[in-house]
């Protein structure tokens, strides 16, 4: 399975300095270790001297922290950098087998389970395509996948640090076409216990759009553009906002809820953006025109008439998304807007281009308009982002982790 390759240090955006800057303050050793690991992850292979330049930590601090990381098996030495003079410096890199995390994405049309290593490589992946999966169905599929990778023995199970779960907010409450009454079971289930009862590990829960944005931040375009807005097109429509490398949640943790924005267009009876721009809306439109589909991968096999219908829907989606993206550009001024989700990549690219064409018409009246691109972590973005949650808790730098360290 493919790895998400980190960029060279020279390619990183200056705003990443916030996540790669260490501190020599007392009792901040945990934060400094997280910073060091992150610097090696995004810039490695790298020498200790280069780490000092990036993090601002002293040489003794660098030596102590890298020794601990080597002893813990989180990094490894990968050879010496030969220069013109002096003893060649040893280079350090992430040990992909240093630890693993499980990511689960639950949505109204599928369940995805994957295992991510510390380098961002997917070591196990499986998707169950099913409409409105109930908690028992999700638990059974998760148990099946745990047993599968345990039996395969391709990586040590004792190095799994946790389980991340990404799912839409109000999963059992938001009314979407064909939702069964039994789906309300998600309103009362203890999601963390659902998974920890199968595999006794810490469980971290996150909104699916927020998880997708976190995945993009750590393993996608966010390494270059750490201030962005992520639009997740799934059975619903969600958004996530990242500012200077930190996910912004808002006062009640509901920032980025782009799907609930009101719309009014003679081209659609929808009253909210989600009712018109989502896989549910696309499939309803196709079904009404004689093309009943169930899963996104069926879109590629449509005949010419079916593709024409998809093109019509993409044009409508671009029209309805243009004003919200202008609003995001004016209010937040992100470096980019990324489109992700379960649409085929060719259609995500087409949607990005259609939006870009419409945005150009406003170029003379809007001071700055963020460019729109397909996300690097599009299809599996929520599951990848979910798998990052345990890494964030245990290993990677964040303002939350630094505050916990200072309070220790």
Give the orientation angle of helix 29-43 with respect to helix 48-55, to 10 degrees: 110
Contact 62/69 with Cβ under 8 angstroms? no
Confidence of residue 209 (pLDDT cuts 50, 70, 90): very high
Interval 348-381: pLDDT, tens: 999 999 999 999 999 888 889 999 999 998 788 9
Classify residue 249 as exposed, middle or buried by CB count within 10 Å of its CB (0-12, 13-18, 19+). Answer: middle
Classify residue 14 as exposed, middle or buried by CB count within 10 Å of its CB (0-12, 13-18, 19+). Answer: exposed
Lowest mean pLDDT among 16-30, 183-197, 233-247, 306-320: 16-30
Interval 33-71: pLDDT, tens: 999 998 998 887 999 999 999 889 999 999 999 999 999
Query: Which homologous superfamily does the CATH classification assign to the domain defined by 100-207+383-395?
Result: ATPase, nucleotide binding domain (3.30.420.40)
Tokens at 323, concatenated: 């004003």
Q: Can you tell me the distance from the alpha carbon of 342 to that of 233, in angstroms, rounded to the nearest whole number?
A: 7
Per-residue pLDDT at 20? 56
Give the orientation angle of helix 381-394 with respect to helix 208-219, to 10 degrees: 70
Order the strands of the 246-248 sheet from edge to edge: 246-248, 237-243, 228-233, 336-341, 372-374
Per-residue pLDDT at 23? 52
DSSP letters for 175-232: --TT--GGGGGGGT--HHHHHHTTS-S-EEEEEHHHHHHHHHHHHSGGGT--SEEEEE
Percent of the chain with pLDDT over 90: 67
Judged by DSSP in three states, 296 sits in: helix
Per-residue pLDDT at 223? 86
C-alpha pair distances (Å), 122 with each of 97, 126, 278, 402: 12, 11, 27, 28
C-alpha pair distances (Å), 194 with each of 125, 163, 328: 20, 11, 37
Q: Can you tell me the distance from the alpha carbon of 170 to that of 173, in angstroms, rounded to the nearest whole number?
A: 5
Comparing 30 with 307, which gets the higher pLDDT?
Answer: 307
Sequence ranges of the domains in the chain:
14-94, 100-207+383-395, 221-375
Tokens at 374, concatenated: 């397909």
DSSP letters for 312-367: HHHHHHHHHHHHHHHHHHHHH--SEEEEEESS-HHHHHHHHHHHHHHHHTTTTTSS
Confidence of residue 9 (pLDDT cuts 50, 70, 90): very low
Per-residue pLDDT at 188? 92
Whole-prediction pTM: 0.85
- Answer yes or no: same fold for 14-94 and 221-375: no
Q: Can you tell me the distance from the alpha carbon of 141 to that of 128, in angstroms, rounded to the nearest whole number?
A: 8
Per-residue pLDDT at 154? 86
CA torsion 167-220-158-76 (nearest 10°) is -170
Nearest to 222 by CA among 3, 2, 4: 4
For residue 228, what are the contacts with CB-CB under 8 A and spacing of at least 6? 213, 216, 221, 222, 241, 242, 334, 335, 336, 337, 338, 370
Q: Can you tell me the distance from the alpha carbon of 280 to that of 85, in angstroms, rounded to the nearest whole number?
A: 63
Comparing 220 with 15, which gets the higher pLDDT?
Answer: 220
Q: Specify the CATH number of the domain 221-375.
A: 3.30.420.40
Interval 163-207: pLDDT, tens: 999 999 888 787 777 788 899 999 999 999 999 999 999 999 999
CATH class of 14-94: mainly alpha
C-alpha dihedral sign at 299, 302, 304, 305: negative
Establish whether the linkage from the previous residue to 45 is cis, with ω within 30° of 0: yes
């Amino acid at each position: 399975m493919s790895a998400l390759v980190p960029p060279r240090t020279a390619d990183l955006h200056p705003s990443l300095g916030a996540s790669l800057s260490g501190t020599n303050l007392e009792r901040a050793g945990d934060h400094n270790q997280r910073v060091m690991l992150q610097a090696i992850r995004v810039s490695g292979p790298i020498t200790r001297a280069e780490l000092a330049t990036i993090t601002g930590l002293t040489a003794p601090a660098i030596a102590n922290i890298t020794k601990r990381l080597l002893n813990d098996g989180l990094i490894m030495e990968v050879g010496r950098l030969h220069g013109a003079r002096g003893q060649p410096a040893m280079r350090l890199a992430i040990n992909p087998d240093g630890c693993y995390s499980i990511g689960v994405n639950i949505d109204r049309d599928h369940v995805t389970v994957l295992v991510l290593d510390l380098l961002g490589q997917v070591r196990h992946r499986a998707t169950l395509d099913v409409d409105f999966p109930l908690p028992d169905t999700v638990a059974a599929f998760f148990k099946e996948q745990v047993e599968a990778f345990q039996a395969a023995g391709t990586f040590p199970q004792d190095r799994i640090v946790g389980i991340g779960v990404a799912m839409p907010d109000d999963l059992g409450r938001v009314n979407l076409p064909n939702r069964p009454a039994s789906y309300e079971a998600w309103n009362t289930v203890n999601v963390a216990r659902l998974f920890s009862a199968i595999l006794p590990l810490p469980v971290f829960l996150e909104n699916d759009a927020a998880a997708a944005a976190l995945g993009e931040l750590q393993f996608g375009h966010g390494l270059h553009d750490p201030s962005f807005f992520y639009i997740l097109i799934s059975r619903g429509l969600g958004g996530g906002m990242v500012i200077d490398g930190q996910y912004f949640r808002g006062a009640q943790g509901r920032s980025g809820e782009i799907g609930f924005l009101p719309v009014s267009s003679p081209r659609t009876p929808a009253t909210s953006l989600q009712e018109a721009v989502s896989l549910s809306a696309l499939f309803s439109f196709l079904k009404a025109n004689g093309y009943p589909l169930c899963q996104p991968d069926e879109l590629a096999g449509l005949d010419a008439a079916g593709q024409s219908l998809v093109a019509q829907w993409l044009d409508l989606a671009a029209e309805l998304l243009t004003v919200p993206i202008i609003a995001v550009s004016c209010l937040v001024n992100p470096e980019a807007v990324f489109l992700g989700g379960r649409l085929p990549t060719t259609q995500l690219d087409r949607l990005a281009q259609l939006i870009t064409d419409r945005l150009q018409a406003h170029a003379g009246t809007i001071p700055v308009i963020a460019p729109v691109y397909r996300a690097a972590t599009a299809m599996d973005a929520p599951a990848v982002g979910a798998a990052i949650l345990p890494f964030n808790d245990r290993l990677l730098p964040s303002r939350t982790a630094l505050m916990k360290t200072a309070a220790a």
